[in-house]
Structure 1
């Protein structure tokens, strides 16, 4: 494989060799269903995922929380399987099954031995296509989801994270919480969730990805047979749903400072600004910057905030990217009395990186960390399955380990400094949870908090 491989939506078949002698194949059925596999030599197990490119950002008024609600409901039984039947099917073979709702997609997945692929395909497709969405189970699950949200609300780091997204992204749909809020979950009706289901769970929306010990031709046959048995009309020709546009949206800051006061021993604090979209060519540069700045125990934040000054136990940076928006953030948990000092230190460190750049040693260390972490992650079929899904749904291209390392190798110290300069020019937002006063962050120096 030489360079990234494009995934055109109108290309019926694609096959290529990837790093490590894995074989990637992709089939786009006439109905719009997309099936991708990565056959990994020596594997005895596999991970399968059924994806739809709908997430919390896609919910319309009156439907908020529907995506997460559906994730729960699809485990509650079909016309031929009860919720217990679904659980027993995987437990009886030592498999794992679960689902995840994200801001831009939903995935139902399982990890099993290679001999159990047919079962996994049958059960997951049955869940996705033939869920009863039973009214009684709907109300039961409403209570379960409210308990899940209550549990998250008891975690100050979760609360700070939700408020941080709102603060940076404002009214953009990506700023909404993935799981909904207690108010929206209480308000949403079964009819609204069912409408959301019908609008987004169709053949042209479905992406199936499998990585590990998998035969692609057999996989296509198994998926096709299962979908037809479930009642889907695969003879009706449809074009796969288009990918989201990768152009940055216009973002208006939600709030410069958000404080949620709670009687806690520690303040959980997130500080950041808009970042890069997922398809930006500089995402690799962002990974290098993040590694150097707050990506490990040798990073600047860890060394300066924890090791040298002892101001926090946990401190790091992160940089999620979505189709039309992204964030760059810094987290620290510290004593409330030191929150202002820590906030200023985090911001001043980012400005120091922008003003003075990074060293050759830091670049070398970041390259080693990122390349090693990438290689180790690919030892797990879960990671490979997810890479296929993101490649198909979000990026429209597949980059193997060799290509990822090639892109990493061309990032320069100047690239990192230029990106840092761009980051610090954006509006800064702070979200914090703890026993904090309203004016705790007003003393930030102009150099640290300049817009």
Structure 2
């Protein structure tokens, strides 16, 4: 069945986009703010994520409990997440409760109080979350690798902050950060499901958001980047008493609108994106060295990061490093064939199509597109962009990459000679 996407720009600083899904029994709405951890100033590290926690505690007219009760009564789910370049507050409810849910969501984003008592309570929650991540070697290794690759750029900072920065944040700092990012006027309200476009625009125009959002003079340009990326190979790690070793190999890749972004996505899928990928077949299926092994790519406004992630028992660490190096080096010595490209394209386009059955996924897609690009790229265009990539394009892209590799290793005795050998093998 056909869907209709509509965009409204009549509210200063707020763009409203909807995708009507006539067969759907629910609606997902997200308020996207074009600011994340990369927009934090000195003294604000971790503020974007901390703020996401605190705003749900109370507004000028309702307690956090009252807000939760209203959403539970509707049978919905209210949540948020923070990225490096954006923050999203979202709700998913059965369609009859949409207007009430939008009222709760806009109240949270526009009128969240940042009360000192709430800040103190949520500080402990965020510190617990931070401690949980520090107990996860994969999270630690991924953060270390990302920081090594991105260097002094604001994108390199952990989204959640550090224990020191979280302890130093206070209510005034969070409130000023909140006001500043809303005044910047880079806000998108996106909705998908059984939703009426004109009715949603009216709800937003007559609600509390317009009073706190400033006029946007440069959509999609909020995220800050200094370009101070890592320029040389880096071997980082943490000697941690555990039964496992976690390694993350990473380097910079094209930005999200770069001409080579599709080739980069397909190369990443060939390397370790699916069950038939080179890493999974060699490391997991043939050698049984690791339960977890994959590659992924994050693409930001001005750069991207390719990561190769693997974990194994301590006694297999040296062999794992050797084999990961062999597979990654093989992307040059044994160029991907047409069959590999076809499977990678199938994996990526299939993921797009599977997401179309979920209104929350559709909301995320149109919200991110409008926030990042100030336009909605049709699904067919996204798929055709991938389908147009050839094996030669993938080979040319991979051989043209000159950004140095960095490696993070977490576990007993890490980083050791095996990790150093892996980095040397790839020439940094």
TM-score range, shorter chain: over 0.9
Alignment CA distance shift 1:89-1:410 (3 Å): same
Tell me the TM-score normalised to structure 2 length.
0.94
Shift of 1:127: 0.7
1:387 aligned residue: 365
Q: Distance in 1 between matches of 2:210 and 2:261?
A: 41
- 1:41 counterpart (3, 18, 22): 22
- Counterpart in 2 of 1:170? 151
Distance (Å, rounded) in 2 between the aligned partners of 1:324 and 1:357: 27
- 3-state SS, counterpart of residue 46 of structure 1: strand
Aligned counterparts, 1:86-101, within 5 A: 86-101=67-82
1:22 equivalent to 2:3? Answer yes
Are the counterparts in 1 of residues 145 and 248 from structure 2 also a CA contact under 8 Å? yes
Q: Where does residue 6 of structure 1 map in the other structure?
A: none
Q: Trace 1:87-166 onto structure 2 (pairs within 5 A).
A: 87-166=68-147
Give the structure 2 partner of residue 274 of structure 1.
252
1:35 touches 1:207 (CA, 8 Å); kept in 2? yes
Contact 2:30 2:90 in 1 (8 A): yes
Residues 416, 136 of structure 1: alpha-carbon distance in 2 compared, 3 angstrom cutoff: same
Find the counterpart in structure 1 of residue 165 from structure 2: 184
Match of 2:406 among 415, 429, 433: 429
Instruction: Tell me if the contact between 2:154 and 2:226 (Cα under 8 Å) persists in the aligned partners.
Output: no
Residues 1:388 and 1:286: Cα distance change in structure 2 (over 3 Å): same
Unaligned runs of 5+ in 1: 1-19
Taking the TM superposition and a 5 Å limit, the aligned residue runs for 1:306-385 are: 306-385=284-363
* Counterpart contact for 1:46–1:112, Cα < 8 Å: yes
Q: 1:374 offset after TM fit, Å?
A: 1.2
Structure 1 CA distance, aligned partners of 2:347 and 2:152? 36
| 2:319 counterpart SS class | helix
The two structures, once aligned, show a CA RMSD in angstroms of 2.1
Displacement after TM superposition at 1:310 (Å): 1.4
The aligned residue for residue 15 of structure 1 is none
Structure 2 CA distance for partners of 1:61 and 1:250, relative to 1, 3 Å: closer
Q: Distance in 2 between matches of 1:291 and 1:419?
A: 14
Does the aligned pair in 2 maintain the 1:348–1:447 contact within 8 Å? no
* Aligned match of 2:388: 410
CA contact (8 A) 1:31 1:203 kept: no
> Of residues 49, 52, 61 in structure 1, which corresponds to 2:42?
61
Q: Secondary structure at the match of 2:298?
A: coil
Shift in Å, 1:253: 4.4
Contact 1:170 1:255 in 2 (8 A): no
Q: 1:447, 1:415 → 2: CA distance?
A: 27
Matched, 1:238 2:215: yes
